[in-house]
Chain A
Amino acid sequence: GAVVSQHPSWVICKSGTSVKIECRSLDFQATTMFWYRQFPKQSLMLMATSNEGSKATYEQGVEKDKFLINHASLTLSTLTVTSAHPEDSSFYICSARGRELAGGPRTDTQYFGPGTRLTVL
Chain B
Amino acid sequence: GEDVEQSLFLSVREGDSSVINCTYTDSSSTYLYWYKQEPGAGLQLLTYIFSNMDMKQDQRLTVLLNKKDKHLSLRIADTQTGDSAIYFCAGRGGGNKLTFGTGTQLKVEL
A93 within 8 A of B: yes
B40 touches A115 (CB 8 A): yes
Query: With A93-B42, A117-B40 in contact, do A44 and B88 touch (Cβ < 8 Å)?
Result: yes
Instruction: Point out the residue from A110, A113, A115, A117 that lies within 8 Å of B98, measured CB to CB.
Output: A110
Query: Which chain A residues border B31 with CB–CB below 8 Å?
Result: 108
Q: Interface size class for chain B?
A: 20 to 34
For B42, list chain A residues within 8 Å (CB).
4, 6, 93, 112-115
How many A-B residue pairs have C-beta atoms within 8 angstroms? Tell me.
Answer: 46
Interface residues of A in 90-117 (CB under 8 A from B): 93, 95, 97, 108-115, 117
Q: Is B100 in contact with A93, judged by CB distance below 8 angstroms?
A: no
**Contact present for B103 and A43 (CB under 8 Å):** yes
Interface size class of A (residues with CB under 8 A): 20 to 34
B interface majority secondary structure: strand
A4-B43 Cα distance, complex, nearest whole Å: 11
Contacts of B48 in A (CB 8 A): 109
Please tell me if A61 contacts chain B, counting CB pairs below 8 Å. Answer: no
Residue of B nearest to A91 (CB): B40
**B window 17-40: CB within 8 A of A:** 31, 35, 40
Question: In whole angstroms, how far apart are the Cα atoms of A111 and B35 in the complex?
Answer: 10
Closest residue of A by beta carbon distance from B88: A43
Write 21 A-B pairs (CB below 8 A) sorted by A numbering: A1-B45, A4-B42, A32-B96, A42-B102, A42-B103, A43-B88, A43-B100, A43-B102, A44-B43, A44-B100, A46-B98, A46-B99, A93-B43, A108-B31, A112-B35, A112-B42, A112-B44, A113-B42, A115-B40, A115-B41, A115-B42
- Ranked nearest first, the 10 interchain pairs of A and B with the lowest CB-CB distance are A112-B43, A114-B42, A112-B42, A115-B42, A43-B100, A44-B100, A43-B102, A113-B42, A93-B42, A43-B103
Binding site for B on A (CB under 8 A): 1, 4, 6, 32, 34, 41-44, 46, 49, 93, 95, 97, 108-115, 117
